[in-house]
Structure 1
Amino acid sequence: MRIAFFAPHKPIDHPLPSGDLIIGKTLHDFLRSQGHELLIASHFRLRHITNKPLKWPTLYLEFKNTLKRAEKFNPDIWLTYHSYYKSPDLLGPYISEKLGIPYVIYQGVFATKYRRNYKTWAGYMSNKHALLHADHVFANKDIDFHNLSRIILPEKLSRTYPGIEPDNFNYCPQGAEEVRNRYELNGKKVILSTAMLREDVKAESITDLIDAFAPIAAKKPETKLLIAGDGEARPRLENLAAEKAGDQIIFLGRVKQEELYKYYSAANFFAYPGINEALGMVYLEAQCAGLPVVAYSTRGPKEAVIHSETGLLSPERDIAAMSANLIRLLEDESLRKQMSEAAPKHIRNNFDLNKNLQDVEHKLSSISHWR
């Protein structure tokens, strides 16, 4: 297949990492690895474009240039990654129609609540237009699949699942030893967390985690909480951590994706509350490395973690319940072992990236033959 690929929310070569970016790049790279030709049709970012009229002339010029690129490439199919009200696809529906090729959205998102706010109405309507004009839509979250089924015919909608390459996150004793020696963690219980430390729900989640860990720090001085990640909220969170738990919380800074498996391997379990979190790739990575997970029972963690089998989930913003789950896993070695054995199996059975993307590839191939 010759595929015109477009990511309106954030181009896949964007310098700032995120879970969405990883999913989009992984989809692109997998299709290319299978021998398909891909053209990144546009690098133009459509985030909040409907509320930025000064950018509309530039968008029009980008539309004309993208149409020329696509015509020259002569694709069999247009594939958009992640269209929703904040970043509706304003290129794919029109260009695919002009070229007479199928139009597909991977990770479509739809929620009617955004039609009731004048600030989000235009984005909502633009996104709905793209979804209704798609020949097929893939949803990789339960809530998205449910919402999309209200406007998309069953034969045009597929429930798919994101994933990771399990072999990249296997437990590594050498990596564990390296990290434990570097931070003098031998003989200590280690909880790992990782997040972008920006001033939004990410920082709120880490704040809740620090608050949940604080009483544990006083009772169990040989326990350490490691937090990987960086961002503008880091200085404030470091000050809060020092105030609440002294030197028992260690901020690691940004850790390269290819090095994360060492840090997972060095920990006893993983904790990240996940306020307003989507699926959360870190939950998959941690479980693959054999780490039980402690999180809130919000929609993202619930899709990734099996409560009482591969982790412990508690109500959102219930700090005391999260703290109790942290203590339970610290003290119950038998439970940790049981979950450590179940977690990698869960990931390999349900979130093996290659298996899941092969299903997407087969569907794209069948759709491209409609041309």
Structure 2
Amino acid sequence: MRIAFFAPHKPIDHPLPSGDLIIGRTLHDFLKAQDHKMMIASRFRLRHITGKPLKWPALYLEFRRALNRVKKFNPDLWLTYHSYYKSPDLFGPYISATLGIPYVIYQGVFATKYRRKFKTWPGYMINKNALLNADHVFANKAVDFQNLSRIILPEKLSHTSPGIDTSIFSYCRQSADRIRDKYNLHDKKVILSAAMLREDVKAESISDLIDAFKPVVEEIPEARLIIAGDGEARSRLQKSASYKVGDKIIFLGRIERQEMYKYYSSADFFAYPGINEAFGMVYLEAQCCGLPVLAYSTRGPQEAVAHGETGLLSPQGDIAGLSRNMLKLLKDKDLRERMSKAAPQRIKKNFDLNDNLRCVNIKLEEIISRRDR
């Protein structure tokens, strides 16, 4: 199969890491590993394009280039990763129609609330047009599947959960000992967090976590919070942490994803509040390494974490509740061990990347076969 691949929000080889980027990259790489010929149709970013008229001439020129590029490649199918109101797919529907090939969206998102605002209405309408013109749409979150089912026929809509390579994220005792040696953590209770430290809900989540940790360390002085990640908010958050809890919080800086299993292995549990988190790949990674998870009960954590089974969730903004859950896990070794055992089992059952993407591959082959018939 020859597939023209397009990620309108952010190219999959973009240097800035994110959960969405990881999902898109793993989708592309998985399909390529199945011996499909993959071509990046365009690297042009369509994020907020409807509100940037100065970029429209460049957008038109790139559309023409992408059309010629894809014509030469002669694909069997166009696959767009992640189209929604902020980054609606302006290329896929038209190029697919011009070439007479199936048009498919993976991680389609639809919400009618964006039609009510003048600023978001254009992106909403363009995205809706792309969804309605798709031969098939994959939703990888339960709420997106529910919303999409209002406008997409059942036979054109599939729910496939995001996943991780479970062979990469597993507990490693040797790595745990090395990390604990490096940061003098052997006699400590260790809570790990990980996030991009940018000035938005990511930094807000870490700020809430620091506030929740303050009463915890007052009661359990040997507790330590280590935070992996970097960004423009790091300096501010470090100063805040130092002022509130002294040297009880360690900022690790950016850790490459393939190295994160070592840090998960060194911790007693994982905590990241996840304000407005759409899903959160770190929750899957942490659980796969045997860590219970603490988070807010927002949309993403609710889907990634089984409350009471593999982690504890509390209402968004309830910092006292976050503190209580930290103390509960720090004090209750039996609870930690039960969750630590259940977490990787649940991930391997529901969020195994290879199992989930095999279903996507089968559906794409069915679409091509149906077109050929």
**TM-score interval for Structure 1 and Structure 2 normalised by the shorter chain:** over 0.9
324-333 vs 56-65, which moves further: 56-65
Q: Pairwise mapping of residues 227-246 of structure 1 onto structure 2 (< 5 A)? A: 227-246=227-246
Q: Pairwise mapping of residues 167-178 of structure 1 onto structure 2 (< 5 A)? A: 167-178=167-178
Aligned to 2:325: 325
Aligned to 2:189: 189
Aligned to 1:144: 144
Structure 2: how far apart are the matches of 1:30 and 1:122?
A: 33
Q: For each residue in 1:71-112, what CA deviation from the matched residue of structure 2 results, as whole angstroms up to 9, or x when unmatched?
A: 110000000000000000000000000000000000000111
Structure 2: how far apart are the matches of 1:249 and 1:137?
A: 43
Q: For each residue in 1:275-310, what CA deviation from the matched residue of structure 2 results, as whole angstroms up to 9, or x when unmatched?
A: 000110000000000000000111100101101100
Normalised to the residue count of structure 2, the TM-score between the two structures is 0.99
Partner of 1:247, secondary structure, is: coil
Structure 2: how far apart are the matches of 1:219 and 1:235?
A: 27
Structure 1: how far apart are the matches of 2:209 and 2:188?
A: 19
TM-aligned CA deviation for residue 367 of structure 1: 0.6
Q: For each residue in 1:224-258, what CA deviation from the matched residue of structure 2 results, as whole angstroms up to 9, or x when unmatched?
A: 00000000011111111111111000000000111
Structure 2: how far apart are the matches of 1:128 and 1:53?
A: 21
Q: For each residue in 1:184-214, what CA deviation from the matched residue of structure 2 results, as whole angstroms up to 9, or x when unmatched?
A: 0001100000000001000110011001000
User: What letter is aligned with 1:185?
Assistant: L
Structure 1: how far apart are the matches of 2:335 and 2:235?
A: 35
Q: For each residue in 1:329-369, what CA deviation from the matched residue of structure 2 results, as whole angstroms up to 9, or x when unmatched?
A: 00000000000000000000000000000000000110112
TM-aligned CA deviation for residue 156 of structure 1: 0.5
> What is the root-mean-square deviation in Å for CA atoms of aligned residues?
0.6
TM-aligned CA deviation for residue 57 of structure 1: 1.0
Structure 2: how far apart are the matches of 1:153 and 1:18?
A: 31
261-270 vs 239-248, which moves further: 239-248
Aligned to 1:65: 65
Q: Pairwise mapping of residues 316-355 of structure 1 onto structure 2 (< 5 A)? A: 316-355=316-355
Aligned to 1:165: 165
Aligned to 2:198: 198
Q: For each residue in 1:139-173, what CA deviation from the matched residue of structure 2 results, as whole angstroms up to 9, or x when unmatched?
A: 01111111111111111110111100111011001
Structure 2: how far apart are the matches of 1:234 and 1:202?
A: 11
TM-aligned CA deviation for residue 115 of structure 1: 0.7
Quick check: 1:305 aligned with 2:287? no
Structure 2: any 5+ residue segments left out of the alignment?
Answer: none
Aligned to 1:213: 213
Normalised to the residue count of structure 1, the TM-score between the two structures is 0.99
Partner of 2:246, secondary structure, is: helix
TM-aligned CA deviation for residue 220 of structure 1: 1.2
Quick check: 1:257 aligned with 2:274? no
Structure 2: how far apart are the matches of 1:222 and 1:167?
A: 32
Partner of 2:119, secondary structure, is: coil
User: What letter is aligned with 1:221?
Assistant: P
Partner of 2:290, secondary structure, is: coil
Partner of 1:166, secondary structure, is: coil
User: What letter is aligned with 2:246?
Assistant: G
Structure 2: how far apart are the matches of 1:222 and 1:323?
A: 15
| Count of equivalent residues | 371
Partner of 1:167, secondary structure, is: coil
Q: For each residue in 1:244-274, what CA deviation from the matched residue of structure 2 results, as whole angstroms up to 9, or x when unmatched?
A: 1110000000001111000000000000001
Q: Pairwise mapping of residues 289-304 of structure 1 onto structure 2 (< 5 A)? A: 289-304=289-304
Structure 1: how far apart are the matches of 2:244 and 2:140?
A: 38
Quick check: 1:129 aligned with 2:129? yes
TM-aligned CA deviation for residue 217 of structure 1: 1.3
TM-aligned CA deviation for residue 215 of structure 1: 0.5
Structure 2: how far apart are the matches of 1:256 and 1:106?
A: 26
Q: Pairwise mapping of residues 70-89 of structure 1 onto structure 2 (< 5 A)? A: 70-89=70-89
Structure 1: how far apart are the matches of 2:274 and 2:54?
A: 35
User: What letter is aligned with 2:141?
Assistant: K
